[in-house]
A and B are shown apart, each in its own frame.
Chain A
Amino acid sequence: MKFITAVIKPFKLDEVREALSEIGVQGITVTEVKGFGRQKGHTELYRGAEYVIDFLPKVKLEVAVSEKLAKKVVEAITKSALTGKIGDGKIFVMNLDQVQRIRTGETGDDAL
């Protein structure tokens, strides 16, 4: 099993969710986050005071999938979150040791 974390542009969230549903992903977790990368921040000016805002708002989504679906998930996110401009985000793929569904006690692929 794989645990996939993606940081994307906030306005791309709906497209990414649709793309993931289409390939059979059953659920994702979404968090509003802030961070910095190569996109850099922007400056804000209030009367004479200039502030560099380093941290930009992004959306982080987390999804746990079976081994065979992992590649398709990465492809789907890459395709749907793409704008071609700097700041599109990143996808991190990690091995996942165990999953357990709390209600039924199912484990492994059955719990995904």
Chain B
Amino acid sequence: MKKLFSKLGMVGLLSFLLLGFSQIGMSNEVFDLSNGTILLADNHAAVEAPAEAVEVPALDTGDTAWMIIATILVIVMAIPGLALFYGGLVRSKNMLSVLMQVFVTFSLMSVLWVVYGYSLAFTEGPYNTWIGGLGAAFLGGISGDSISGTIPEYVFVTFQLTFAALTPALIVGGFAERIKFSGMLVFLSLWLTVVYLPICHMVWGGGLISSWGAIDFAGGTVVHINAGVAALVLAICLGKRLGYGKEVMAPHNMPMTMIGASLLWAGWFGFNVGSELAADSTAGLVMINTQVAAAAGVLGWITMEWMARGKPSMLGGASGAISGLVAITPACAAVGPMGAIVLGFIASIIAYWACTSLKKSLGYDDSLDVFGIHGVAGMVGAVSLAILMAPQFGGVGYDEGVTMMSQFVVQAKSVGFTIIWCGVISFVLFKIVDATVGLRVSEEDERAGLDTTSHGETAYHS
């Protein structure tokens, strides 16, 4: 029965895509090209750089060159960075399954982004508080000449695409080693549509959260809290891996995890610095903050390990780096370099606590600690930036009429809203997909490993 549903789902998805392509021509004709372009460009200008809203948008080659590089850096973060980071952490029998889950998720989300994702996230719609419109579905109305800010709109679309494709791929870590591949693709497609796109619109597309004055420069709520909470919900709903807590589930290849973490670190400059959408002075601040927060994160985590266990570990170093990077993501254009060090160090320590004590006491099996690292460090970053952005801590200071307390409340509100939105909807989506396509592999397949049972190949031959 479930097999039938999964087949039907695939057919549905394909026909939807085909239907869409057949409409491309039509939507281009219906859409007034010049009006659409100006409307979109104005919209971005209003969101990204209010001061320049009155100026006529002009392409800047320096900014454009940088944004193309930044986009590629974020792609490297996901594949191979994230894939290797996760891959090294699972048992060898599941290595390829994790690589595939990240690789194919990244690809599927990329296609969905241009079909309707970009439009729902970044254009104005009838329910603009929550979600954008469908005016730019299939990228209708956008041409090579369209400009967003100072860069071609296609570059902006691709840059944002990498975020939308990376975030669902992050969730893979929460259900690794037991997820059914087809169910995962259906779940993540729905998740992108009803969790990521609305939150992305609300934060960056001129919706609800941005209207509160919340600061989320490069995706603390949109990317990391979202992915962390969804991973937690799925880890709990899906149940623990067979033999969890009894059998040895040690990482099968720590060097690969180190390579993955390092690629994530390097790629994060595209993620954070690229979010400035320009090669300007703020980009410099974001760059130094990103570097020192990651470094402080490494030191924070291994300090805890060294004190608690007597030995600092490679996995601790890698986990600390990611924790620091996650925490600085929303804050990287608001705090100063010293604030970034403090933030990276503290967030890493709290993430360490979440991955060890909190996880143990609550007893969930978040396979690769997506919640512990992305969720928790993301929350720490999003909330504490309200304090660290104060001028006395070297931050950029507050907007007129905003105090530390009021900013703190807004940040906490945006975090709480994201947790509830993502948590509740992820749970409902889990129930729907689990009842139809199915989300967990059979016990037999799980024991044998997903490489052979889901993908018909093995990672290593000896």
Contacts and interface: CB of A to CB of B under 8 A. Distances in A.
A44 interface: yes
B313 interface: yes
A94 interface: no
Contact of B357 (A45, A48, A53): A48
Contacts of A51: 248-250
Contact of A48 (B89, B311, B356): B356
Contacts of B315: 46-47
A46 B250 contact: yes
Interface string B234-249: 0000000000000011
Interface string B362-383: 0000000100100000000000
Interface string A40-81: 000011111101010000000000000000000000000000
Nearest to A51: B248
B357 A44 contact: no
Interface residues of A, number: 8
Contact of B369 (A44, A45, A47, A53): A47
Contacts of A45: 305, 309, 311, 313
A53 B305 CA distance: 20
Contacts of A47: 315-316, 319, 355-356, 369, 372
Interface of B is mostly: helix
Nearest to A43: B309
Interface in A1-54: 44-49, 51, 53
Interface residues of B, number: 19
Interface of A is mostly: strand
A44 B249 CA distance: 11
Contacts of B359: 48
Interface in B291-324: 305, 309, 311, 313, 315-316, 319
A44 B311 CA distance: 10
Interface in B419-442: none
A46 B360 contact: no
A88 to B, nearest CB: 25
B301 to A, nearest CB: 9
Interface string B48-59: 000000000000
B250 A44 contact: yes
B376 to A, nearest CB: 13
A86 to B, nearest CB: 21
Contacts of B372: 47
Contacts of A44: 250
Contacts of A48: 355-357, 359-360
Nearest to A54: B248
B251 interface: yes
Contacts of B311: 45
Nearest to B309: A45
Contact of A49 (B249, B305, B316, B357): B249
Contacts of B250: 44, 46, 49, 51
B312 to A, nearest CB: 11
Contacts of B355: 47-48
Contacts of A53: 248
Nearest to A49: B249
A47 B322 CA distance: 13
A45 B356 CA distance: 10
Nearest to A52: B248
Nearest to A53: B248
Contacts of B316: 47
Nearest to B254: A46
A46 B367 CA distance: 12
A92 B248 CA distance: 32
A73 B329 CA distance: 66
Nearest to A48: B356
A49 to B, nearest CB: 7
A46 B356 contact: no
A48 to B, nearest CB: 4
A43 to B, nearest CB: 9
Nearest to A47: B355
Interface string B215-241: 000000000000000000000000000
- Counting chain A CB atoms within 10 Å of each CB, the highest count among B248, B311, B372 belongs to B248
18 contacts: A44-B250, A45-B309, A45-B313, A46-B250, A46-B251, A46-B315, A47-B315, A47-B319, A47-B355, A47-B369, A48-B357, A48-B359, A48-B360, A49-B250, A51-B248, A51-B249, A51-B250, A53-B248
Interface of A: 44-49, 51, 53
Interface of B: 89, 248-251, 305, 309, 311, 313, 315-316, 319, 355-357, 359-360, 369, 372
Given A44-B250, A49-B250, 8 more contacts: A46-B89, A46-B250, A47-B315, A47-B355, A47-B372, A48-B357, A48-B359, A51-B249
Q: Which 3 A-B residue pairs are closest in the complex by CB-CB distance?
A: A48-B356, A47-B355, A51-B248
